[in-house]
Amino acid sequence: MSTYYNKVKDYLLNLEFNIIKEDKVEELFVVENPEGGIANLIVDCEDPILIVEGVLFELTNDNPEIYKALLKKNREIIHGAFVLDGSGKKVLFRDTLQLENLDQNELEATLNSLEMLLSEYSEEIISYSKL
């Protein structure tokens, strides 16, 4: 287990995120913050980077307008971006940070960005999940 794992865990706890699952061997956490609308967010220490990733919704069809809207919205997201999973069916929020220089403010900025995205863009996300 790297020294980063404990550092990231401390940051998550300091930021008042609930750790609902952790895997010391894989060096990852599954966290939530119900007040911020965050559930089942994966925080993975993959030295040299920290991956923050969570499923937002599943695509039920290949509507080019959804992809276009998501790409436009990516421009407004402060930290992180919309991405597709390997199957191309799930839309995720994803951000990566350097572990070596990581401080709590950086991780907090990523998590705040996701919370802001969820609060400001929730109606669109819900509508896309129903298409």
Q: What is the pLDDT of residues 82-93, one digit of tens each?
A: 999 999 999 999
| Predicted pLDDT of residue 128 | 78
Residues 59 and 89: beta-carbon distance below 8 Å:
yes
Q: What is the pLDDT of residues 26-45, one digit of tens each?
A: 999 999 999 999 999 999 99
Residue with tokens 């040299």: 48
Phi and psi dihedrals of 42, rounded to 5? -95, 130
Residue 131: which pLDDT band, with cuts at 50, 70 and 90? Answer: low
| Predicted pLDDT of residue 79 | 96
Distances (CA, A) of 114 to 2, 37, 63, 75: 26, 9, 24, 14
Domains and CATH numbers, the chain: 3-130 (3.30.1460.10)
Return d(Cα 130, Cα 109) in angstroms, integer: 30
pLDDT at residue 1 greater than cutoff 80: no
